[in-house]
Chains A and B, each alone.
Chain A
Amino acid sequence: AQSVTQLDSHVSVSEGTPVLLRCNYSSSYSPSLFWYVQHPNKGLQLLLKYTSAATLVKGINGFEAEFKKSETSFHLTKPSAHMSDAAEYFCVVSGTSGTYKYIFGTGTRLKVLA
């Protein structure tokens, strides 16, 4: 069975400081992993995806994530937070091969302080 754990339900950073949102996954085979962002009262937007190509994945708005198989992690980072980054972030692992099911983490709410 596959699962994903987001280690922090809330993260607060000051504007201009680095962002780290942590995600660990469990998968019996090579997974596809994703990060989505949801701004208040909005739908979900794809930030980036890992699909067994380069382990360092660059996404939109300056975000990136590194796939570390040995640590079963897929942490999301950004060098410098912006006020507009305040949102909820979801780490997602794809389901059983061939079914395309997504398994969502419980989300991390990022707060950016002025």
Chain B
Amino acid sequence: NAGVTQTPKFQVLKTGQSMTLQCAQDMNHEYMSWYRQDPGMGLRLIHYSVGAGITDQGEVPNGYNVSRSTTEDFPLRLLSAAPSQTSVYFCAARQLYGYTFGSGTRLTVV
């Protein structure tokens, strides 16, 4: 039982490139979310999903897209990477009274 799996663990992008951060969960949880973590700012919600086919914006959605075609997968897309998107990204799936977080993706945009 892997919980929440994120890939890749590390990525370097050039400004303007696109990429998709993958997130998969094997716990059959309906609610999933993406956060970014920046020094001194805690974690901020980018997008979330309450089930397959349903997504919504969080606190800092600009520059990111998501989709939820299955319960298991919740990918995060950067359409045109910017240096301001350099961060550590966490995917999470909600269980009863708490979240399970993935191990994170450290993204650097140069």
- Residue total for B at the interface (Cβ-Cβ under 8 A): 22
Given contacts A43-B103, A43-B104, contact A104 B42 (CB under 8 A): yes
Question: 1/0 per position for A23-52, CB-CB distance to B under 8 A?
Answer: 000000000101010000011111001010
Given contacts A32-B97, A43-B90, A44-B90, contact A102 B102 (CB under 8 A): no
* B contact residues around A104 at 8 Å (CB): 35, 42-44
- In the complex, the chain A residue whose C-beta lies closest to that of B4 is A43
| Chain B interface main SS type | strand
| Chain A interface main SS type | loop
B40/A106 in contact, CB under 8 A:
yes
* A contact residues around B92 at 8 Å (CB): 102
Question: Is B48 at the interface (CB under 8 A from chain A)?
Answer: yes
Q: Which residues in A have some Cβ–Cβ distance to B below 8 Å?
A: 9, 32, 34, 36, 42-46, 49, 51, 90, 99-102, 104-107
